[in-house]
Structure 1
Amino acid sequence: MIKINNVSKFYTDEVEIGPLNITIPKAGLTSLIGPNGAGKSTTLMMIGRLLDLDDGQIEIADMDISEAKSADVAKKLTILRQENHFVTRLTVRQLVGFGRFPYSKGRLTKEDEAVISKYIDFLNLTELENRYLDELSGGQRQRAYVAMVLCQETEYVLLDEPLNNLDVARSVQMMEHLKRAANEFGRTILTVLHDINFAAKYSDRICAMKHGQIAAFGTVAEVMQPDILTDIFETKIEIIEGPYGPIAIY
């Protein structure tokens, strides 16, 4: 599980994140939602050790990430940021292969190659594996990045806005892949999402943030309440029951 204990990040006297206190259970898909500037990505970056804490402690699988060695963290946790700047003259297979670096140190074995193929197939990229990244659509490229982080085979996977720049159809496909990864591989996936209804349909748990604080955390049914969402987003939100669960109506 992920334990966040009294974690804070200070930017100015007026802008700060935390203190945050939350325990995210092992396995399943948890979504961070909230308005712009709520602190979702900052929280994810601190959990992923890409941003230093100013106070508090984060433990992942009983490992204090502030004190653990990078090599040990890389075998427990992987993170995909919004902005990816890989050299575009990489093939899909080469990109996905980067996920094996914590184990192979750049010298891929037959076992590594088998793992790479496994996640290329899982993300439906088999026909594209020898294509260069700059030859792909945005949705195809995003699937390749997700295949790379899954290929690292860490128990914990952090994704910052994996639906960024995807249309509705591609967003549905991506969320279905992530849900399957959580269920079939037993991964603990924590993702930042802007769309409440995607979070409601695919998540096991939702963590809602507002003004750098955790405003609500629980199951989809517990968080998808009109009074809770109206307060968090500061606009009237109604909830109707759709064929796949609750739907937020602005």
Structure 2
Amino acid sequence: MAIELKHLSKSYHSQKVVDDVSLSIAKGQFTAFIGPNGAGKSTILSMISRLAQPDSGQVFLDGLDMYAMKSAEIAKKMAILKQSNHTELRLTIEDLVAFGRFPYSQGRLTSEDHRIIDRSINYMDLEDLRHGQLSELSGGQRQRAYIAMVLAQDTDYILLDEPLNNLDMKHSAQIMRVLKDLAVNHDKSIIVVIHDINFASVYADQIIAMKHGRLAYVGSPQQIMNEAILEKIFDFHIPIQEVDRHKLGLYFIS
């Protein structure tokens, strides 16, 4: 099955930010949303995860109307990491990651919960910091801790809104490799909003490009990483170069 959006629309203060969007997101794939600021990407993610109510339209999760599902049921199928996190919380990394198990444990952690918590911490290379306070970590370390919490939720669908914020090159690449591994080897459906089109090109199976609240293009990286298409999306010319069969956009020298 898949996530299916049917005629989704959403306005804020009389401004339409998502305009009649219909699409399907296949299960077990890595899907990347790209587009300029204000294109509606994050709003789409919020409506998929039921954090925002659409003005019109429907969202289906594995054939079920999400807006008729119970929150506890959704929490076992879908996890989301938004851009803004409450980093003022006085928690250790281990405490934070344990929150990812709440839909299953209701606060009473089992040995299986602890195994998944340990696995998620190790995935994000945080073992040496697991007892550190969030307030004492760098921005990149906190971001990795929140991603570990999402991984601990162990859902079929993982949604991440700009997961590479505050990360250096090493940890950005690490996170993208982990997410790709979850899709390829663990049948997870990864859906990210991402600004770096080159990460989308290298790791995504499907790219969804949005502009002015509407779908602009949907296709594989080979299809979307096209100079004419990218210029229509971003309103400036982006030269394309192919490296190891991946198309990369040289936007920094355009």
Assess same fold via TM > 0.5.
yes
Question: CA offset at residue 208 of structure 1?
Answer: 0.4
Structure 1, unaligned stretches of length 5 or more? none
The C-alpha deviation readout for 1:199-231, integer Å capped at 9, x for no partner, is 111111110000101111111111111111110
**1:80-159 mapped onto 2 (5 Å cutoff):** 80-159=81-160
Q: Which position in structure 2 is the counterpart of 1:3?
A: 4
Deviation at 1:176, TM superposition (A): 1.5
Cα distance in structure 2, aligned partners of 1:161 and 1:203:
14
| Native 8 Å contact 2:143 2:166 kept in 1 | no
What is the TM-score of this pair, normalised by structure 1? 0.96
Task: Tell me the SS of whatever aligns to 2:100.
Answer: helix
Cα offsets for 1:103-151 (capped at 9, x unmatched)? 1111111111111111112222112111111222222211111110111
Q: Partner residue of 1:39?
A: 40
- Structure 1 partner of 2:240: 239
Identity across matched positions, percent: 48
Residue 69 of structure 1 is matched in structure 2 by 70
Extract unaligned runs of 5+ from structure 2: none
Write the distance in 2 (CA, Å) between the matches of 1:90 and 1:80: 17
Query: Structure 2 CA distance, aligned partners of 1:158 and 1:112?
Result: 21
- Relative to structure 1, is the Cα distance of residues 127 and 244 closer, same or farther in structure 2, using a 3 angstrom cutoff? farther
Structure-2-length-normalised TM-score:
0.94
Cα distance in 2, alignment partners of residues 14 and 69 from structure 1:
30
Q: How many residues align?
A: 250
After superposition, the C-alpha distances for 1:21-56 in whole angstroms (9 at most, x for unaligned) are 100111121110000110000111110111001111
What is the identity, as a one-letter code, of the residue corresponding to 1:61?
D
* 1:177 alignment counterpart: 178
SS for the counterpart of 1:66 is helix
Q: Secondary structure at the match of 2:180?
A: helix
Contact 2:32 2:193 in 1 (8 A): yes
Q: CA RMSD in A?
A: 1.4
